[in-house]
Amino acid sequence: SGSRIEDPKLRTQALEMWSDCIVRQIGRDDNSDEFRDALQVVAERVKGKFNRLDRAEAFNLVAKKALTQKEASALLQDSLPKLDREGLEQTQGLGIAFDTLTSVLRRDPDTRQEVMDFLLAPFSNESINRFTDTVLYYVDTNRYWANVERHTGAVSPLAKLDGRLFYENFWSAPLEARALIAREMLLPVDATTKEQEAEAFKYAIEKAFPDSGRHVERSREFVEKYIGVLPDYEKSLALSALLISAEKSASKGASTGVALATFLENMGPAETKAGQAAESHPDTPEDIRANLARLKTHASEPLRWELFDLIEEQVSPAVLDGIAHYGKVLGSGSLYIAMRVQMKDGSSKVLRVLRPHALERADNGFGYMSALAAEFGEEDPVFFTLRDIIEESRRTVQWETNTRLGVDQNIAAQGAYNGKSIHVDGEKFNFYVPGVSAFGDGFLLLDEVEGEHFIELPEGTAEEFGRKRKLAKAIATFELSRILAGRIFDKDRHGGNCRINGNTIGHFDFGALELEEPEHDDLKTLGAVLFTAVTSASNESDFRKGFFDELKRIRATTGSVPSLLSGVQKALLSLGEYRRYLSDEDFKQVLVSAAASGIHPVIKNVVTQKAMGSLFKGFGKGKGSPMELLGMFQTPPITIEDSGESRS
């Protein structure tokens, strides 16, 4: 097969350009024999010109851009080299993949490092020669080939062929197969070699997070501690994910955030959710945050032919029979993949399909993340926030994977949002939540929400940023108003689950929506925490930090945090997506307007009682009183309007 562009980023750009040219040439899939014939010609032509490692990515790019249907997608899949254990075990003389070197590699840490170096370096004559020399050295030393003279010329070419096959098989294999290879070749086999195992992981982590990266030490610490709490059967998957991250880190200009996002999405739903939460957290460094953002909309998207397999497995025959055309993947989150579909009745819908074993994998992952939080220790600032987020997320993932409950949540969300509008700086924005057309175990079929994800809206010019700022004000004000009014609220309303179409803010994915309003005692506690958060803040923008600090104090005092407070904490973290577009004065407007739209009487009474002694004192230079900041004496600059069409 053909040679390979060494730099991963440049290679991806080249594949993007190539796939654009192919789609311009053959068009989009119209489900005709003519299209499939043209696609078959492309697939055959690629075999002789593209490296095996790049074919799956190249074919998938064509499939996504040409919107290939099931049959054409299967055609591309069938044109890829098959990879199974039998294929991996086939030997060309040296049996590199499993038979001859496995025991040596497991015993020798230097050789394991050389294998990782070989896998992580761009394939070249230099890299294969170096690797072959290592192989032949151990062949001679261990007399695997006692009847073959090394320098007859018979063995070296076979070693190079096997080395190339090993390299290509590893990088063209699905994650699970890579984990198999990693387990067989790179991890020690018995408990007496745990130190060697740690060395293997340490080396892989150094490759994934090179010294030149910013915040590298903290990222390394996170990954090292995470791997340390994994059971043995999960460690090969972690090593495989690390190698994928390290390969990404080889790109020119690649950052620590790229490697961290890649590692998290390959480990599973819980780890992906942790990355999503970190993206919204105020303490996450900007260069890492920017690379974690895609985990909210484009995490671990399946190959198109794999997605068709998942749809066939999860979606009911009645719904499948009603689909005329499969369109673009609109989102790929921690638990669901969303695809636009055209129905035979002419309507456009969104098909949301649950990832395989999502609940089980998420539950396991949250268990590991809880153990990770404990590893950081209570003195570490990461500990409290991470633990609370994990506990809340572990509870809500049960809801998120329950599609029957999802229908109820969607109906409740329609009542909360539809018919509502908000006025911000002279502009009116309307809220919209789509309806559910059909559902079953593992899928939902919904009306489409048009527009772009908030998180993906442009912000490069002053005009673009200004518009995004208005939208952020609108969304944050409305969400905070739900919390302060003691109504049902969503704990995960981030910029990846709303789309903007003109002045319509379309919300979807309500798996973290509470269906029951808070109890009286919980509202009293919330009122007390809100008062403390406002009065302890050094400025208005520190409100969220003050809230989190008070939760830490409550946990330290009582040993736990009430569910309502941990839910509000998670909601505030998700709303951090919007906070970064707001000035301190903007945030004050948001807080005042949210409270003035209808603060719950229980919360208001608590704040009033606590504020009586400091009503005229304020709480620091340049600030208003807590009651003023909570909107009790002001005409709000942002107003919420209810048309009366739909009430929660």
When pLDDT is cut at 50, 70 and 90, the band that residue 116 belongs to is: confident
Buried b (16+ CB within 10 A) or exposed e, 325-362: bbbebbbbbbbbbbbbbebeeeeebbbbbbbeebbebb
Calculate the dihedral angle through the C-alpha atoms of 602, 603, 605, 606, rounding to the nearest 10 degrees.
120
Structure confidence at residue 254 (pLDDT): 65
Residue 556 confidence (pLDDT): 83
Structure tokens given for 618:
């304020």
In tens, the pLDDT along 165-187 reads: 777 777 777 776 677 667 766 66
Instruction: For residue 533, give every residue at least 6 positions away whose Cβ sits within 8 Å of its Cβ, in sequence order, or none.
Output: 543, 544, 546, 547, 549, 550
The percentage of the chain sitting over the pLDDT mark of 90, rounded to a whole number, equals 47
Q: Which of 526, 507, 516 is nearest to 487 (CA)?
A: 516
Question: Residues 500-509: what's their mean pLDDT?
Answer: 97
Q: Which residues of 154-171 are buried (b: 16+ CB within 10 A; e: fewer)?
A: ebbebbbbbbbbbbbbbb
The answer on pLDDT for 8 being more than 80 is no
- Domain borders along the chain are 8-81
What pLDDT, in 10s, does the model give residues 425-443?
A: 999 999 999 999 999 999 9
Query: Which has the higher per-residue pLDDT, 133 or 260?
Result: 260
Statement: residue 290 has pLDDT above 80: yes
Q: Which residue would you say has higher pLDDT here, 296 or 160?
A: 296
What pTM, to 2 d.p., does this model score? 0.84
pLDDT: which is higher, 609 or 323: 323
Strands 504-507 and 427-432: parallel
Q: Is the confidence at residue 423, as pLDDT, over 90?
A: yes
Mean pLDDT of 477-486: 96
Among 167-176, 196-205, 522-531, 618-627, name the one with the lowest average pLDDT.
618-627
The DSSP result for 435-453, as a single string, is: PEEEEETTEEEEE---SEE
Q: Among 110-119, 421-430, 454-463, 619-628, which is the least confidently predicted range? A: 619-628
Question: Do the Cβ atoms of 456 and 436 come closer than 8 Å?
Answer: no
Mean pLDDT of the chain: 83
Of 92-96, 300-304, 582-586, 603-607, least confident by mean pLDDT is 92-96
List the structure tokens of 364.
């396991």
Decide if pLDDT at 463 tops 90: yes
Q: If DSSP codes are grouped into helix, strand and coil, which group holds residue 136?
A: helix
Burial label for 146, CB within 10 Å (0-12, 13-18, 19+), is exposed
Other CB atoms within 10 Å distance of the CB of residue 240: 26
Residue bearing the bigger pLDDT, 390 or 344: 344
3-state secondary structure 353-368: EECCCHHHHHHHHHHH
CB 295 within 8 A of CB 275: yes
User: Encoding tokens for residue 179?
Assistant: 């984990």
Q: Which residue has the tokens 């489900």?
A: 31
Top pLDDT among 156 and 418 is at 418
pLDDT in tens, 53-104: 788 889 999 999 999 999 999 999 999 876 554 444 443 333 344 444 555 5
Q: Which residue has the higher pLDDT, 150 or 292?
A: 292
Torsion, CA 262, CA 263, CA 264, CA 265, rounded to 10: 50
Classify 619 as helix, strand or coil: coil
Out of 94-108, 118-132, 211-225, which region has the weakest mean confidence (pLDDT)? 94-108
Residue where the block lists tokens 């309507």: 347
Identify the CA nearest to 204 among candidates 173, 172, 226: 226
Using one digit for the tens of pLDDT, what is the confidence trace for 543-574?
Answer: 777 888 888 888 888 888 888 998 998 898 88
Confidence of residue 529 (pLDDT cuts 50, 70, 90): very high
Distance CA 219, CA 403 (A): 35
